[in-house]
Structure 1
Amino acid sequence: MMNTIMKPALLLALMSPVALQAQKTALPKQITVQGKVKFAVPPGQPNKIWLSRDMGTGKPVVVDSTVLGDDLTYTFKIKQDHPGIYKLNIMYWDHISFWSDADVKISSRGYDTAKMKMKIPHFYFVEGSSDNNFINQMELNGTNGYLRMIEEYNEEYFAKQHKEKGGDSAWASYLATRKRYNPLREDAAQRQEVLMKIYEDRPVLIYALRSMAGTESKEKYAEALTKLDNLIKKYPWLTEAKDMKATILKNKAQAMKLQPGQPVPTISYPDELGQVQGLEQYKGKYLLIDFWASWCGPCRQAIPKVKELYAQYKDKGFDVVSVSIDTDKKAWRKAMEDEKMPWKQLLSDDKDKTMEQFQFSGIPTLYVVDPQGKIVSKHTGYGPGTEAEIKAIMEKGTTAKPAGERKVIPAMAM
């Protein structure tokens, strides 16, 4: 009887760690994705659904597509060598992420039936595994934070409008003195931190680490690298963690080249006449490089303010060059005609390369360059604080930042 009991134990003890790990992970080689939307697009509009895989580099790759059925459902069969993050683009209206460690069922809104269509995020729910609950909670946290910021902005905007029309100014004055957005950001960050702590040993954590690996997340690189090293050690099959680590190290190295005092990167882009231009022609002047796009609302809002700066300092050794990351040339040309910017206009021929070279993920992003062609400062979004810094550089030759919280025209994330 003793021998009968000991044989399985002895066999287990002799099993290699690799074999035990393989048993433990039991990676699914195929899963089924079943989805249903509440509202279909009107006839004549695209009812296509795209499936992409997030490879950990920030550039999802489309792997399959289908069309929405008459019963408002769709299905995908995914073959894989290990689980990872997949994304669904549903008729351009819903953008849904999920973890592929089990069959999943997804319910989403689909077409926006509201009279005013704002393309705001729609909350969705993914059923299938506990790891997908992590993504569900992360998405709800992000969506609610975004909507609360919109509410805060609208309240401030309408209070200001009411004041300008002769109404009660007390409320507008009160709102103007409050640091209203910082608490919202801090609340969202704290919620995310708790979620990441709960799932810190799960491979799906990589979903949250994406937000710590971008070009605007330099202060989070060290923490992200530590967490990625832990995932790589625990899940050797998680190639996305290795790719993300490589991306962070690459961004970190490029960011060092963009510090104040470093020479501005060399560019060569076509202007509105199709002639290739660089930045060499601006040597001897202070230069403001404005990265923008025709579809970017905050960029368009900032243009009148940049025009004021240009008019004030153009005769004092100051110039501006706008670099568009538009992929639609007609839209770019139409925006140039509408805005009538009196400085040079360039069009990036590879927006991803430009965003990587200058390390930004939201626009408008602006760089101030001195007469020697060296970087003075970088700004994401535009507002009084940005304007004050640029004026200080021009008038005093200083890069000192004004005290207090900045109220900026926020950048639009890519």
Structure 2
Amino acid sequence: MIKKCLTLAVSALLMLSSSFAQKGKTVTFTGTVKFPDTENKYPIYLGKYEGEGFKKAFKAIDSAKLDANNNFSFKVPADKPDFYQVRVYYFDRIDFWADKDNIHVNVRGIDTAKMKIKNPPYIYMENTSADNDLINDVNLINYLNYQNMIAVGQEQYKAGLSKDSLWIDYMKGGFARMDKDFDARIKYTINKYKNQPAVLYALNALSWKRDGELLMSTLDNLTKKFPWLTQAQEKKKEILENMAQTAKIANGQKAPDFSFPDVNGKNLGPKDFKGKYLIIDFWASWCGPCRAEIPHIKEVYKKYKDKGLDILSVSVDAKPADWKKAMAEEKMAWPQINAVESKQVMSSYLFSGIPYLVVVDKEGKIIEKNVRGESLDNAMKKIFGM
């Protein structure tokens, strides 16, 4: 009996010792910058996103400077595994799971191109185990999808110039084909890594309306396998809240109102267009797919403006100067406003990616959401019968 008690006591001490050993645990994140900021205008930050849902915001917790060989380093807290992000000069952003990997990255650094275009590069994390392998895979899928979006937009534009009806009709389905490919790759990755905590990173690409079963089964598996993984519990709570908000913006419901200034400082919002059919176009100067969609929106406007259609373009540019420059370049002939603080309106309409177009009826009720290209044409045909 005494021997058994001693054994239990020793086991308890070993467990306690192991618990204390985890306190103060860190991993190392290192990087090499190809083109350093020689003028020291931009920082290198370590941080994480805090808050819930659309209110999440990046918060820096440490900063670093380059050594003589253009290297930087962070010690990252890993007592409780979590997602962190390193930002290099605001140009390069690297998400990672801090648990047991000492990660290294090679980044470009300062954008040396004469014409700077927001097209984030793919950054591969070295020295990774399964959780950060997953993030590498998801980032590659996202990167290739973004390049495809640009390519499809350019091809749609060229098809229109050619007046080739077969090519034009084929390219109308370009984004749908691309979305189908993206969806298949993400779901394959989720199933491959479903037993890894960082699979939460891949779940961000899913929609609960379309992929609710896969989302919930993956989250339930995570919470059962890792009871300490509060991030999975929070994700499930966020989905349930989104379900409630989705009911509020279902087709036939009133479009959430908002108001932002135009170039002259006059505030405009959906309520100012009552009595007209309205397309609300959320976009930004830096968004390639948004700008690729503008020629098509111009065609829609030309075709239906005399039949009672108006458009309200809502830029989510954080810098009004960027918005004004792009607006002048695009020469859109309908009202334009700038939502410098866009989190609330994005939360109300439940979107995080742009372009995002919403069609509203004369009474301010939602007809369709998230339409563009062919789906926007179909929405217009339902309304105007043309």
Q: Measure the CA separation in 1 of the matches of 2:222 and 2:211.
A: 17
The Cα shift of 1:243 comes to 2.5
The 8 Å contact of residues 101 and 129 in structure 1, kept in 2 or not, is answered as: no
What percentage of residue pairs aligned between the two structures are identical? 34
Of residues 337-346 and 100-109 in structure 1, the stretch that sits farther from structure 2 once superposed is: 337-346
Deviation at 1:351, TM superposition (A): 0.7
Q: Contact 2:94–2:123 (CA<8 Å) still a contact in 1?
A: no
Report matched runs for 1:53-92 at 5 Å.
53-55=48-50, 57=53, 58-79=56-77, 81-92=79-90
Counterparts of 1:336 and 1:150, CA distance in 2? 21
In structure 2, the residue matched to 1:411 is none
Alignment of 1:230-241 (within 5 A): 230-241=221-232
Residue number in structure 2 paired with 1:392: 382
Whether 1:126 aligns to 2:126 is yes
Deviations 1:333-359 (A, max 9, x none): 333333343332222252111111112
Indicate yes or no: 2:301 matched with 1:310: yes
**Residue 199 (structure 2) pairs with residue 205 (structure 1):** yes
C-alpha separation in 1, matches of 2:366 and 2:150: 37
- Give the secondary-structure state (helix, strand or coil) at the position aligned to 1:237: coil
- Cα distance in structure 2, aligned partners of 1:174 and 1:270: 36
Distance 1:275 1:138, change over 3 A: closer
Indicate whether 1:358 and 2:349 are aligned: yes
SS at match of 2:204: helix
SS in 2 for 1:137: helix
| Aligned residue number for residue 36 of structure 1 | 31
Matched letter for residue 386 of structure 1? L
SS at match of 1:60: strand
Show CA shifts across 1:150-193 (max 9, x none): 796499579959x959xxx9xx9599489776666555544543
Distance 1:270 1:179 in 2: 35
Mean Cα displacement is larger for which, 134-143 or 285-294? Answer: 134-143
CA displacement, residues 174-217 of structure 1 (integer Å, 9 cap, x when unaligned): 994897766665555445434433432332222222223xxx55
Distance 2:152 2:195 in 1: 37
1:99 aligns with 97
CA shift, 1:138, in A, is: 3.2
2:240 equivalent to 1:262: no
CA contact (8 A) 2:28 2:73 kept: yes
Secondary structure, counterpart of 1:208 in structure 2:
helix
Q: Secondary structure at the match of 2:45?
A: strand
Q: How big is the alpha-carbon RMSD for the aligned residues of Structure 1 and Structure 2?
A: 4.0
**What SS does structure 1 have at the residue aligned with 2:303?**
helix
Q: Given the alignment, which residue of 220, 231, 256 partners 2:211?
A: 220
Shift of 1:364: 2.1
Question: Could you say which structure has the greater relative contact order, defined with CA pairs below 8 angstroms and 6 or more residues apart?
Answer: 2
Structure 1 370/275 Cα, relative in aligned 2: closer, same or farther at 3 Å? Answer: same
1:281 equivalent in structure 2: 272
2:286 maps to what in 1? 295
Unaligned ranges ≥5, structure 1: 397-414
Contact 2:130 2:196 in 1 (8 A): no
What runs of 5+ residues in structure 2 fail to find an aligned partner?
none
CA contact (8 A) 1:27 1:83 kept: no
Q: What CA deviation, in whole Å up to 9, does each residue of 1:368-399 have, x standing for no partner?
A: 1111221111134x324412421331237xxx
Farther off after superposition, 135-144 or 292-301: 135-144
Amino acid of the structure 2 residue aligned with 1:307: K
Tell me what 1:410 maps to.
none
Shift of 1:39: 0.8
Taking the aligned partners of 1:301 and 1:140, their CA distance within structure 2 comes to: 22
Check whether the contact 2:208–2:215 (CA below 8 A) recurs between aligned residues: no
Equivalent-residue separation in structure 1 for 2:28 and 2:130 (angstroms): 16
TM-score, scaled relative to structure 1: 0.76
Alignment check: 8 A CA contact 2:261 2:267 kept: yes
